[in-house]
Amino acid sequence: MVSEDVLRTHLQELRRGTVVVASLVALRRPDYGYALLQRLTDHGFPVDANTLYPLLRRLEDQGLLTSEWNTEESRPRKFYRTSDEGESMLSRLLADLAAVQTSLTGLIQGVDR
């Protein structure tokens, strides 16, 4: 029987890359960090704030997200949005994800290539 710790580690590794894809998809509609954290969790991508905020900064530095501050509310919030470059990258990542799923399905079903 597989231990819960081993399973948790492998699930974390499996989801690590999908959080980037999920964030780029979710941020097609502008949102701020905490709301994104909630939305990702609600859709089955639980992520820690200490992981998400550095990820958002990295994606912004890479030009995959844009951001702007909203100071109209009592508390300023930084809103993020997927950039045009981010959309292009997302398209490629989704295509690769689909190819991985097809490959896994073939392995599961015993299909020869």
Q: Considering only residues 46 and 20, tell me which one the structure prediction assigns the higher pLDDT.
A: 20
Q: CB burial class (10 A; 0-12, 13-18, 19+) of residue 4?
A: exposed
Instruction: Name the 3-class secondary structure at 47.
Output: coil
Domain boundaries, the chain: 4-105
d(Cα 30, Cα 60) in Å, to the nearest integer? 13
Does residue 95 sit in helix, strand or coil?
helix
Q: Residue 16 pLDDT more than 90?
A: no
In tens, the pLDDT along 26-54 reads 999 999 999 999 999 999 998 999 999 99
**pLDDT confidence bin for 92, thresholds 50/70/90:** very high
Class of domain 4-105: mainly alpha
Q: Determine the pLDDT at residue 14.
A: 85
